[in-house]
C-alpha cells in the first residue's frame, strides 16, 4: 500500500512538472523574437490620472476630493478596462509597441502594464514629463523581446510668439527591432481644437517641428524606417498633416523619403476614432515612411494594414441606436466606460 501511494505521488509530481514546463515553454515561445508579426497600437486612454494631487499640475479634479470623485475603485476599473481593450486588439498576440496618449505620469503606465493580461509581456516604458498645464503626457511601451530602445528624447512644442503656451512634447524613440532593423518612432498629442481656427496654427507648428526632425533623420539615411503615431487632433486631410507633415494617401509615390498615412483611406470611407456632434473624426493617425511599405527585408506593412478597434462592447448606444466610444467621463458625470477615443493598430511583418 505504501509503495502504491509513493508511486501515485511520484506520478503526480512528474505530470505537474511536465505541465508546468510545457506552459513555461509556451510562454517563452510567445515572447520569442522568432515571431514574424509585430503588433503596434495607439490609444488615447482619456485622462488616465493617479489619485495623488500633484502641486505642479492642475490635476485636482482627478483626486478623491476633486469634482470628478476619482476613487481607487474607479482607477482600478479603468486599468482593467484598458488592459482588456489592448489585449483584444488581436486574437493571437498582445501589442509589441503601444503609444499611450493622455497619461499623467510613468506610474499610471506601470500600473497598466502590471494589469492582467498585459502583465504577461516583458514591457519597458519610455516616458518624459511634459509642460502641459494639466500634467498629461504621452508614453511608449515596448516589448523588450522585440524592441531595444537605443535613444529617446522629448521634442518641446514651444511657440516663440506665445511664451505662455504649453502643450505635450513629442516623444522620439530610436529602436532596434529584433537586433536586425532600426525603427524611428514619434508619439504625438497635438493641441486640442478648442478655439476653432485659431488653434490650427498650434498643430501646424507641431507638424513642422516633426517634419524637421523627420528630414534630419532622412538626410543621414534616406531609407530610414519611420513610424509616427498619436492623437494629432487633426484628420488626415487637414493642412497640418497633409501639407505641413506631408503625410498623404498617395500609393503611387514610391519615394522612400515620403510619408504615408495608413488612416487616410479609412477616413475617406467615413471611419473615425472620435465622435464629435454626431460625426466621426479621424484624430488618431498611424503614419509610416514609404520605406516601411511592402519592404522586402526587415519590418514592413501593407497600405491597408491599419485597423480601428470598434467592437460593440467598447461602444455606447443611445436611445436612437447611434454608437459612440463609451467614455469614462462626460464633464463631471461618471459613465464608467473605457475612453472617448477608439484604439488603432497596425500589424507589421518582419521578413
The alpha-helical segments, DSSP class H, found in the chain are 2-30, 72-88, 106-113, 200-220, 239, 264-268
Name the pairing type of β-strands 323-325 and 329-330.
unpaired
Which grid cell sits at 335?
459613465
pLDDT for res 28: 38
DSSP state of 198: G
DSSP state of 239: H
pLDDT for res 299: 96
State pTM to two decimals. Answer: 0.90
* Mean pLDDT over the full length of the chain: 90
For 123-157, the pLDDT digits (tens) are 999 999 999 999 999 999 999 999 999 999 999 99
Burial class from Cβ neighbours inside 10 Å (0-12, 13-18, 19+) for residue 9 reads exposed
For 192-237, the pLDDT digits (tens) are 987 676 789 999 999 999 999 999 999 999 999 999 999 999 999 9
334 - beta bridge partners? 329
Residue found under cell 476619482: 70
Structural contact between residues 177 and 147, judged by C-beta atoms closer than 8 angstroms: yes
| Residue 269: band (very low, low, confident or very high) from pLDDT cuts 50, 70, 90 | very high
Name the pairing type of β-strands 226-231 and 284-289.
antiparallel
Q: Packing angle between helix 106-113 and helix 72-88, nearest 10 degrees?
A: 60
| Residue 34: band (very low, low, confident or very high) from pLDDT cuts 50, 70, 90 | low
Q: How far apart are CA 236 and CA 263, in angstroms?
A: 7
CA dihedral 26, 31, 34, 38 (to 10 degrees): 130
pLDDT for res 255: 74
Domain boundaries, the chain: 1-30, 36-350
300 - beta bridge partners? 349
pLDDT at 320 over 70: yes
Structural contact between residues 38 and 146, judged by C-beta atoms closer than 8 angstroms: yes
Nearest to 344 by CA among 249, 246, 266: 266
Q: How far apart are CA 121 and CA 261, in angstroms?
A: 29
Kindly report the backbone phi and psi dihedral angles of residue 261, in degrees, each rounded to the nearest multiple of 5, phi listed first: -95, 110
| Residue 32: band (very low, low, confident or very high) from pLDDT cuts 50, 70, 90 | very low
For 270-296, the pLDDT digits (tens) are 999 999 999 999 999 999 999 999 888
pLDDT for res 348: 97
Superfamily of domain 36-350: Endonuclease/exonuclease/phosphatase (3.60.10.10)
Mean pLDDT of the 249-259 span = 84
Amino acid at each position: 500500500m505504501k509503495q502504491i501511494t509513493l508511486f501515485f505521488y511520484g506520478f503526480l509530481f512528474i505530470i505537474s512538472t511536465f505541465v508546468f514546463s510545457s506552459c513555461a515553454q509556451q510562454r517563452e515561445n510567445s515572447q520569442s523574437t522568432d515571431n514574424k508579426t509585430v503588433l503596434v497600437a495607439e490609444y488615447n486612454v482619456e485622462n488616465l490620472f493617479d489619485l495623488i494631487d500633484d502641486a505642479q499640475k492642475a490635476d485636482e479634479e482627478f483626486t478623491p476630493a476633486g469634482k470628478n470623485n476619482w476613487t481607487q475603485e474607479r482607477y482600478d476599473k479603468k486599468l482593467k478596462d484598458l488592459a482588456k481593450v489592448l489585449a483584444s486588439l488581436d486574437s493571437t498576440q498582445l501589442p509589441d509597441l503601444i503609444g499611450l496618449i493622455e497619461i499623467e505620469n510613468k506610474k499610471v503606465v506601470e500600473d497598466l502594464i502590471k494589469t492582467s493580461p498585459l502583465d504577461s509581456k516583458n514591457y519597458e516604458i519610455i516616458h518624459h514629463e511634459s509642460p502641459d498645464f494639466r500634467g498629461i503626457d504621452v508614453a511608449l511601451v515596448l516589448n523588450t523581446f522585440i524592441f531595444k530602445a537605443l535613444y529617446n528624447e522629448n521634442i518641446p512644442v514651444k511657440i516663440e510668439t506665445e511664451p505662455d503656451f504649453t502643450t505635450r512634447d513629442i516623444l522620439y524613440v530610436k529602436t532596434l527591432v529584433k537586433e536586425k532593423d532600426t525603427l524611428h518612432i514619434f508619439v504625438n498629442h497635438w493641441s486640442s481644437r478648442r478655439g476653432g481656427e485659431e488653434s490650427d496654427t498650434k498643430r501646424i507648428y507641431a507638424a513642422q517641428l516633426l517634419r524637421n526632425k523627420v528630414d534630419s533623420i532622412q538626410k543621414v539615411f534616406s531609407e530610414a524606417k519611420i513610424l509616427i503615431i498619436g492623437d494629432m487632433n487633426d484628420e488626415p486631410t487637414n493642412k497640418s498633416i497633409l501639407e505641413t507633415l506631408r503625410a498623404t494617401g498617395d500609393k503611387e509615390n514610391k519615394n522612400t523619403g515620403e510619408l504615408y498615412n495608413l488612416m487616410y483611406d479609412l477616413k475617406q470611407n467615413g471611419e473615425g476614432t472620435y465622435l464629435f456632434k454626431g460625426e466621426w473624426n479621424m484624430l488618431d493617425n498611424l503614419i509610416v515612411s514609404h520605406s516601411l511599405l511592402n519592404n522586402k527585408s526587415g519590418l514592413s506593412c501593407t497600405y491597408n494594414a491599419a485597423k480601428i478597434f470598434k467592437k460593440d462592447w467598447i461602444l455606447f448606444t443611445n436611445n436612437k441606436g447611434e454608437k459612440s466610444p463609451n467614455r469614462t467621463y462626460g464633464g463631471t458625470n461618471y459613465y464608467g466606460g473605457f475612453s472617448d477615443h477608439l484604439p488603432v493598430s497596425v500589424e507589421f511583418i518582419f521578413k
